[in-house]
Chain A
Amino acid sequence: GNSVTQMEGPVTLSEEAFLTINCTYTATGYPSLFWYVQYPGEGLQLLLKATKADDKGSNKGFEATYRKETTSFHLEKGSVQVSDSAVYFCALSGPRSSNTGKLIFGQGTTLQVKP
């Protein structure tokens, strides 16, 4: 079945450091891929998405590229801020042909950015 694997956290960085959070997936067909962020005490917010191979999703300085050959969707940011401290979830949804819209989440990676 479909699954998502994220690197274990917590990830602790100093402000302005480079961030990479690894995400790999197993899926049949061509899923859509997502990164969601959960700030302390809040619900999940969509950070970025990519719907087909080689697409790059980007938002708020974060980027992730849909790599079909390596089945990966790693999240990157060139210079993190304290305000980026949150839990990041990688997720996939089934191909549109399945039309269920169900999301499968990775286990989440906690990012702590210190000033």
Chain B
Amino acid sequence: GAVVSQHPSWVICKSGTSVKIECRSLDFQATTMFWYRQFPKQSLMLMATSNEGSKATYEQGVEKDKFLINHASLTLSTLTVTSAHPEDSSFYICSASFGGGSDTQYFGPGTRLTVL
């Protein structure tokens, strides 16, 4: 149980294009989803927290107009990297939790974004 999927698993795009990454909780309803960015051989950096039906809360230094997050249902959150540039190349990971006081997060397998 508590499986989280991401799609696509990897994507290569040209500079200036936008890329959408989906995060789905497959067998549970996720009140809260989180988006992280992981640089090579480094830890995860939390980008934003999203609750179903409300606007995402972004961490300091993360551009909300650059990284658009939509949490339209209890099983789906999307991250759109707008006008991507090479410096946006990274490994993006989502996680989901049951919410309601539960503090365990279940992580997706990640999406490797390469911007040329």
Contacts of B42 in A (CB 8 A): 107-108
- Let me know if B44 and A101 touch, CB within 8 A: no
- Let me know if B93 and A44 touch, CB within 8 A: yes
Q: Does B67 contact A (CB under 8 A)?
A: no
- Let me know if A49 and B107 touch, CB within 8 A: no
- Let me know if A102 and B46 touch, CB within 8 A: yes
**DSSP majority for the A interface?**
strand
Minimum CB–CB distance from A26 to chain B (whole Å) comes to 16
- Let me know if A43 and B109 touch, CB within 8 A: yes
Minimum CB–CB distance from A31 to chain B (whole Å) comes to 9
Contacts of A43 in B (CB 8 A): 4, 6, 93, 107-110
Query: Which of the residues B44, B49, B104 comes within 8 Å of A49, measured between beta carbons?
Result: B104
Q: Does B97 contact A (CB under 8 A)?
A: yes
Count A-side interface residues using an 8 Å CB cutoff.
24
Q: How far is the CA of A72 from the CA of B94 in the complex (A)?
A: 27
Q: Does A42 contact B (CB under 8 A)?
A: yes
* Binding-face segment, A12-20, A62-70, A75-83, A92-100: A92-100
Q: Which residue of B lies closest to A36 (CB)?
A: B107
Within residues 41 to 63 of chain A, which ones have a CB less than 8 A from any CB in chain B?
42-46, 49, 51
Residues of chain B having any CB pair with chain A under 8 Å: 4, 6, 32, 34, 41-44, 46, 49, 93, 95, 97, 99, 101-110
